Chains A and B, each alone.
Chain A
């Protein structure tokens, strides 16, 4: 790992101005991706701005029909939260399926979402539940947030402070994990908002997206058998040593079917 300057601001405003003044800075949240990346010298920021010292960025709030998670909140806090389990159990389930226990004790929701790893779990929830990603200056709709491989709507220096999830009538998440890394080869989250279905997919494409074809079919007929005839086009899907694009497209359908069965039986 190359040398870097280290900063630990106590407010979002201070973090922003540190970012502005530095040469080639990066924000550090849980560090579960950034630190391994720096160790491999694939990232070499001149300045690390550690967001762990900003108290208002950690915490869970359930009120006004929403579940709000502070950006610095680690995955296990969400997975084990009685409030989240009671109000939005699918989010606790998604959090509990990320990586391994040690990673879940350090990794944060803001870090995961800002990184836009194509195989991360949380993005499926942001897209599938139609969450709002809140930064220090604006609110970005979950539908518009993920742009491409490791690319988001965030501008340089912008900081996610919290993520607000609306509470659906019911929802379920299923993923096909890579057996070694536990990253999602494909993960599908289905949410039912009073009869309107949303489907968020991670792992399959360069970033998380809504599967509008599946949504259309399920809005007409909320039945796993209805998915048999659905064509999931694999154009632009990821193809690597873990799975071909064609196989990922197949998995989208299989995971959607299983998630829907869970949703209906839940």
Chain B
């Protein structure tokens, strides 16, 4: 089936089978490999992208559902020369070890900060329930998100 969707502000059309996952459309068909596949069972959050500004897991959306969606991936939030404030904070706080979970962490962190006031250590950790860091490097991730939530 042909589906049309907007990815990082650009209109895209792909011809895929019904059972293709959104994450595979992004990675395989559109070449946006910043969105990762970790567990492929909707637990780890490495595939987190934004749909209409809210974080979702791209491994748990099938192609026909993605038709007409407005998707933002990690590639769409900043550039190497002009990082998104959350990317800048992750760099500043060294909020990554192997980096595999980082794109999903950043996408979820942006949703968290945009949709919650008065974030503290506990609420940030609870907000990361759907994202796993297999290096267990949560401490600096929480620090990075806290710094953005605090406005700097």
| B-binding residues in A (CB < 8 A) | 1-6, 8, 28, 31-32, 35-36, 38-40, 48, 50, 52, 76, 80, 99-103, 105-106, 180-182
In the complex, what residues of A have CB within 8 A of residue B54's CB? Answer: 76, 105
The 9 closest A-B pairs by CB, nearest first: A100-B130, A100-B129, A1-B19, A105-B54, A6-B64, A102-B130, A102-B57, A35-B60, A102-B55
CB-contacts of B45-85 with A (<8 A): 45, 48, 51, 54-57, 60-62, 64-65
The answer on a CB contact under 8 Å between A106 and B19 is no
B69 to A: closest C-beta gap in Å: 11
**B18: which of A6, A31, A32, A180 is its contact (CB, 8 Å)?**
A6
Given A48-B18, A101-B130, 8 more pairs with CB closer than 8 A: A1-B19, A4-B18, A5-B18, A6-B62, A39-B40, A50-B64, A100-B129, A102-B48
The answer on a CB contact under 8 Å between B18 and A103 is no
Instruction: Give Cα A2–Cα B18 distance, bound, in whole angstroms.
Output: 9
A82 to B: closest C-beta gap in Å: 14
Q: Which residue of A lies closest to B17 (CB)?
A: A3
Instruction: Give Cα A31–Cα B42 distance, bound, in whole angstroms.
Output: 11
In the complex, what residues of A have CB within 8 A of residue B45's CB? Answer: 100, 102
The answer on a CB contact under 8 Å between B115 and A80 is yes
Instruction: Give Cα A80–Cα B54 distance, bound, in whole angstroms.
Output: 13
The answer on a CB contact under 8 Å between B64 and A106 is no
Q: Which residue of A lies closest to B64 (CB)?
A: A6
The answer on a CB contact under 8 Å between A31 and B130 is no
B142 within 8 A of A: no
In the complex, what residues of B have CB within 8 A of residue A102's CB? Answer: 42, 45, 48, 55-57, 108, 130
A58 to B: closest C-beta gap in Å: 13
B112 within 8 A of A: yes
B118 within 8 A of A: no
In the complex, what residues of B have CB within 8 A of residue A4's CB? Answer: 18-19
In the complex, what residues of B have CB within 8 A of residue A100's CB? Answer: 45, 129-131
A22 to B: closest C-beta gap in Å: 14
CB-contacts of B77-129 with A (<8 A): 108, 111-112, 115, 127, 129
12 pairs across A/B with beta carbons < 8 Å?
A: A8-B64, A35-B60, A35-B62, A36-B42, A36-B60, A40-B41, A48-B62, A100-B45, A100-B129, A102-B42, A102-B48, A103-B57
- Given A100-B129, A106-B60, A36 and B65 contact (CB-CB distance below 8 Å): no
Q: Which residue of A lies closest to B131 (CB)?
A: A100
Which of A28, A100, A101, A181 has the most C-beta atoms of chain B within 10 angstroms of its own C-beta? A101
